[in-house]
Amino acid sequence: MNISENSQYNSEAADLLHSRLARCEWKVDESTGAIEKAELVTMFRHACDVLHSGEERSRHFLVADALSASCIRVVRCLCLGSDASYILIRDQVYPLDALDQYRNAVRNYEHLLSLVKR
C-alpha cells in the first residue's frame, strides 16, 4: 500500500459516509454485528459539523478529527475491499479492526458530546 492508495480509501469511505452509506454493501458478521450503521453516520456527520466550524485549535476540533478518522476506518473495513482494511501509518502497514474502530468512535463521540455540554 502506498500513500495514494491509503488516501483514496479514506476518500471513498468518507464519500460513502456522506451519502449515509447508501452505496455500501454492509458486511456484517458475528464480530461486527454490534456496529450500528445509522449511529456511525450520525457520529460522522456531527464530527464533520465540528470540523467545518473552523476552530482548528479547539479541543472539540481535535476530538472531532479523531472521531471522523475512526468512522472512516470502520467503513474501510466493512464497505470497501479487503485491501482497504489495512492502513498506512509512517510507512508501515497495519490491519484495521472494524469493531475496535467503532468502539473508539463511540468513545470519541461521547467525549465530544461531553465537551459540548461544558
Q: What is the pLDDT of residues 92-115, one digit of tens each?
A: 999 999 999 999 999 999 999 999
Quote the pLDDT of residue 32: 72
Neighbours of 73 (CB within 10 A): 24
Task: Please state the rounded mean pLDDT for residues 50-58.
Answer: 83
- Look at residues 102, 38, 94, 47 and name the one whose alpha carbon lies nearest to residue 73: 102
Give dist(CA 18, CA 33) in Å, integer.
22
Query: Quick check: helix, strand or coil at residue 91?
Result: coil
% of the chain beyond a pLDDT of 90: 71
**Helix 37-51, helix 3-18: angle, nearest 10:** 110
Domain limits of the chain?
3-17+34-117
Give the confidence band of 116 by pLDDT, cuts at 50, 70, 90: confident
Determine the pLDDT at residue 55: 76
Mean pLDDT value across residues 7-34: 87
Q: At 67, which helix (H) or strand (E)?
A: helix 59-79
> pLDDT band at residue 12, thresholds of 50, 70 and 90?
very high
State the average pLDDT for the chain: 91
Q: Helix, strand, coil: what percent of the chain each, to 5?
A: 65, 5, 30
pLDDT for 118 = 65
Contact 87, 115 (CB under 8 A): no
CA distances for 1 relative to 52, 63, 90, angstroms: 30, 27, 12
| Average confidence (pLDDT) over 75-99 | 92
